[in-house]
């Protein structure tokens, strides 16, 4: 049933409504993880205050993106097609980093990742994985053969994706390098895009997902773009405010929040 086009389109529609709800909620709420744990919105404090280490929290939250995608992809008629296999490789690279390497490399060991964020995150990562795996391996015929790989849309999208992905990995490295192992305090990131914006890691993550959506050319891959923008744009302003309140005159006045020279 989940592999039928009618069911898929229904879930896709519900997913976009869910993304809209996330967008509205993110404007008013501060999710309790990372540097905003101590200043999270009161609604999250109604939930059980079970905090995990950032390593474990990120790992658990991202895990469905790998499990769900592989499960649905593996049963698809397009699973062994060259175009589909390339997207499988992209997914493996992306979530190999985000779901396994990134959590492992986090240096802060303090328990600042609320379990509630993990549980709510599972809905997003599971839907995201389902929508893309079923689109690529089951329903979209453009992933048969190699034709799609020769189109300008795929090639431009792939280029945008890798710009975002490499930039995101580098931005994460810059943030990590500010801390000695086990340190829980924060510093001011500098270098690269951080000379222009507070949240270079958010900007590059958005760019990567936009690139993937362009390259795949399906409405299923747009879901995570909407959710990522809905979640990270309001959070970027919250993080920027946090930095300016913590570091005051030390923080660069000219630095924008998310988009160099603009926003």
Region 150-170: mean pLDDT is 96
Higher pLDDT, 187 or 201: 201
Cα dihedral 63, 64, 69, 74, rounded to 10, equals 90
Task: Tell me 99's DSSP state.
Answer: I
| pLDDT tens for each residue of 68-94 | 999 999 999 999 999 999 999 999 999
- For the chain, percent of residues with pLDDT exceeding 90: 57
pLDDT category, 153, cuts 50, 70, 90? very high
| pLDDT attached to residue 41 | 46
If you count them, how many residues does the chain have?
263
Region 53-81: mean pLDDT is 93
Does residue 134 surpass a pLDDT of 80? yes
Region 212-233: mean pLDDT is 92
Does residue 32 surpass a pLDDT of 80? no
Task: Find residue 256's DSSP bridge partners.
Answer: 197
| pLDDT attached to residue 54 | 81
Give the three-class secondary structure for 35: helix
pTM to 2 decimal places: 0.88
| pLDDT tens for each residue of 235-252 | 899 889 888 988 888 889
| pLDDT attached to residue 183 | 53
Residues 6+ apart with CB under 8 A from 220: 8, 12, 131, 132, 134, 135
Contact call for residues 43 and 252 (beta carbons, < 8 A): no
């Amino acid at each position: 049933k989940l592999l039928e086009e009618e069911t898929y389109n229904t879930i896709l529609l519900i997913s976009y409504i869910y993304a809209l709800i996330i967008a509205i909620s993110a404007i008013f709420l501060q999710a309790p993880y990372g540097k905003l744990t101590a200043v999270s919105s009161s609604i999250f404090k109604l939930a059980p205050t079970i905090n995990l280490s950032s390593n474990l929290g990120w790992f658990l939250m991202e895990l469905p993106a790998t499990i769900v995608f592989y499960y649905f992809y593996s049963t698809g008629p397009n699973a062994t097609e060259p175009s589909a296999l390339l997207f499988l490789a992209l997914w493996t690279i992306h979530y190999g980093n985000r779901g396994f390497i990134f959590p492992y490399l986090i240096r802060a060991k303090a328990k600042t990742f609320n379990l509630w964020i993990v549980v709510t995150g599972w809905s997003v990562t599971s839907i995201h994985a389902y929508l893309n795996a079923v689109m690529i391996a089951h329903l979209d015929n453009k992933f048969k053969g190699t034709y799609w790989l020769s189109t300008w849309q795929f090639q431009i999208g792939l280029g945008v994706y890798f710009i975002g992905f490499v930039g995101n990995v580098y931005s994460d490295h810059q943030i990590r390098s500010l801390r000695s192992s086990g340190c829980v305090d924060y510093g001011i990131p500098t270098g690269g895009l951080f000379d222009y914006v507070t949240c270079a890691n958010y900007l590059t993550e958005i760019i990567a997902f936009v690139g993937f959506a362009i390259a795949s050319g399906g409405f299923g891959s747009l879901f995570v773009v909407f959710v990522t923008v809905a979640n990270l744009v309001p959070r970027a302003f919250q993080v920027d405010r946090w930095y300016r309140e913590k570091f005051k005159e030390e923080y660069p006045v000219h630095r924008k929040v998310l988009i160099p020279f603009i926003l």
